[in-house]
Structure 1
Amino acid sequence: MNRRDFLNISKAGIVTSAFFAKDLLAFEPPEIRSSYFYVEQKDESDFQEIRRKLNLIQRHVGYGNFNILGFDEALKIAKRVSNIGEFTKSQLEFLEFMFYYNPSSHGFYGKRITNSITDEINKKEIVKVPRTGHYLFKGKPLETYNDMVDDIGSTLTLTSGIRSVMKQTKLFFDKIASVNGNITIAAISLAPPAYTYHFVGDFDVGKRGFGHANFTSRFALTDEFKKIRSLKYVDVRYTINNKDGVRYEPWHITTV
């Protein structure tokens, strides 16, 4: 979908461009400073109801299980559990749009990783990492993480592993809500649902006990990160001024 198509859809009611607000964020790429894309006011109800349902589904299946929960299974749970409720036609249309649209229209240039909203995680190819609540793929991702813990020490921990389409959707929608519906700003710090490398192997690490600071630039000042930089087998996905248009993420480890 090119920029013109994206703007045509926005006029139809999914998202809309808005004026540049200088006080939002200082690190945004220059090419997106002239226009932001927001969840349109008339779609706010569906947007918030989707967030409510995803939150309840996560509570129902458990945080760890939600990380690998597929789209179809999530819909079945919502329909079956009375306090969640079936997704409406307009809610499903919004979910599908946010999965299939091209975010390069507003400055995110990452590679599409997942082609279908119904793509699922193969449970036979994953393993749950003890005391983290997260999963990793067997093979290189798991081996890389275990080697990092051996070389850096027990203060290093897995802060985010595999993320299904539903998990990434929840995270992305929560991020959008935290920046007042601004899809452009949300995509600077979190990949849209179809574009996360967490679906195929990447993972995040942090300093044990460091909390939310693990997902800020403060992590780059830790001894753990200094040791990561010395490991020849480890690469960070989103470096400073990366071509994907994403903020610097020193905690995001590349495995694919």
Structure 2
Amino acid sequence: MHRRLFLKQVAYFFTMANTPLAFANTPEPVENQAGLFDSHIKDRLLKNQLFDKVYDVDIFLDNKLLPLLDASLRRLKRMQKIVGYGNFCLLNFDDAIKIGKSYSIIGAFSKQELNFLEMIFYSRVNNYGFMGEKPIKSITGKIIKKEVKKIPYSGNYLYRGKPIKLYSKIKKQVGNNVILTSGVRSIMKQFLLFLNKTKKSQGNLSMASRSLAPPGYSFHGVGDFDVGKKGYGIHNFTERFTQTDVYKKLNALGYLKFRYERDNDLGVRFEPWHIEVV
């Protein structure tokens, strides 16, 4: 199927109706041939390694939906600025709607924007290449404030229980050079990150999902977290992180598991900073 045809069909029905839509899943039949499976594996591994390249089978948002992408993203950025980074990481969908209505500087989400967000959330993301599980099934899922704790000097929250215990253990064994770079992420936070990535990818949903889980599919919403090296900045989210003493110590801890290993089969780039908890 042509990379744009699929979403053009969605955009047509989206324009004609005011109801949220999910993407249709119409996979083409695959012949049971060993050579063909080998080709699929090689293609998957290539995309994992060269995740920021454009491929012929990539799925793009139709041009008709790009204004809604821009409007929703701008509103989310204004909202994060008003409520603060930490609070935004806990913000649920229903409260975001209320806040938008309450602050003129943010503005209320239009019905078309809400439909767009629901379409993104409930889409079958395997259509554009993301094969991970979906731990958060409902767009109205909430993070209970008493179940999380803010980690000092990080601006991030972690779930109480196993996540905090694991992070404390990492700090003790790896040392003060290890920092928490991303903790709990709400639905709205994941929307902001994913839509921002989609915007930078010029509407390429496949490219965006190779480096960031779509809303509902991020395990940051249920317990996972990212770590990095103090003072390493943006490089903590690149493969350069594997060259640091922090990563080498993390890798040496046999009980740790990284959510997206190298050459994984989930359609996601290698993330040596993402600690699997759940």
1:97 maps to 119
Q: Which amino acid aligns with 2:262?
A: I
Q: How many angstroms apart in 1 are the aligned matches of 2:201 and 2:65?
A: 16
2:226 maps to 204
1:253 maps to 275
Give the CA deviation at 1:13. 5.5
Q: How many angstroms apart in 1 are the aligned matches of 2:125 and 2:70?
A: 21
Q: Which amino acid aligns with 1:38?
A: F
Q: Does the 8 Å contact 2:210/2:268 carry over to 1?
A: yes
Structure-1-length-normalised TM-score: 0.90
Q: How many angstroms apart in 2 are the aligned matches of 1:103 and 1:74?
A: 24
1:126 maps to 148
The structure richer in strand per residue is 1
Q: How many angstroms apart in 1 are the aligned matches of 2:168 and 2:184?
A: 15
* SS in structure 2 of the partner of residue 195 of structure 1: coil
Aligned residue runs from structure 1 range 7-46, under 5 A = 8-9=9-10, 12=13, 27-28=50-51, 33-46=55-68
Q: How many angstroms apart in 1 are the aligned matches of 2:232 and 2:180?
A: 12
Residues 47-76 of structure 1: CA distance to partner in whole angstroms, max 9, x if unpaired? 111111101110111001101111111111
Q: Does the 8 Å contact 1:206/1:219 carry over to 2?
A: yes
Residues 161-210 of structure 1: CA distance to partner in whole angstroms, max 9, x if unpaired? 00000000000001111111111100000000010000110000000110
1:151 maps to 173
Q: Which amino acid aligns with 1:171?
A: L
Give the CA deviation at 1:9. 2.3
Q: Does the 8 Å contact 1:99/1:192 carry over to 2?
A: yes
2:33 maps to none
- The structure-2 alpha-carbon separation of the partners of 1:151 and 1:73, relative to structure 1 and needing over 3 Å to count, comes to same
Q: Is residue 2:71 matched to residue 1:49? A: yes
1:173 maps to 195
Higher relative contact order (CA 8 A, sep 6+): 2
Among the aligned pairs, what percent are the same residue?
Answer: 44
Aligned residue runs from structure 1 range 66-105, under 5 A = 66-105=88-127
Give the CA deviation at 1:25. 9.2
Q: Which amino acid aligns with 1:192?
A: P
Q: Does the 8 Å contact 1:56/1:84 carry over to 2?
A: yes
Q: Which has the larger radius of gyration?
A: 2
* SS in structure 1 of the partner of residue 199 of structure 2: helix
- The structure-2 alpha-carbon separation of the partners of 1:248 and 1:75, relative to structure 1 and needing over 3 Å to count, comes to same
Q: Once superposed, what is the RMSD of the aligned Cα atoms?
A: 2.3
2:28 maps to none
Q: How many angstroms apart in 2 are the aligned matches of 1:97 and 1:138?
A: 32
Q: Which amino acid aligns with 1:27?
A: L
Q: How many angstroms apart in 1 are the aligned matches of 2:189 and 2:231?
A: 23
Q: Which amino acid aligns with 1:134?
A: N
Give the CA deviation at 1:40. 1.8
Q: Does the 8 Å contact 1:13/1:40 carry over to 2?
A: no
Q: How many angstroms apart in 2 are the aligned matches of 1:26 and 1:204?
A: 20
Q: How many angstroms apart in 2 are the aligned matches of 1:120 and 1:82?
A: 24
Q: Does the 8 Å contact 2:49/2:269 carry over to 1?
A: no
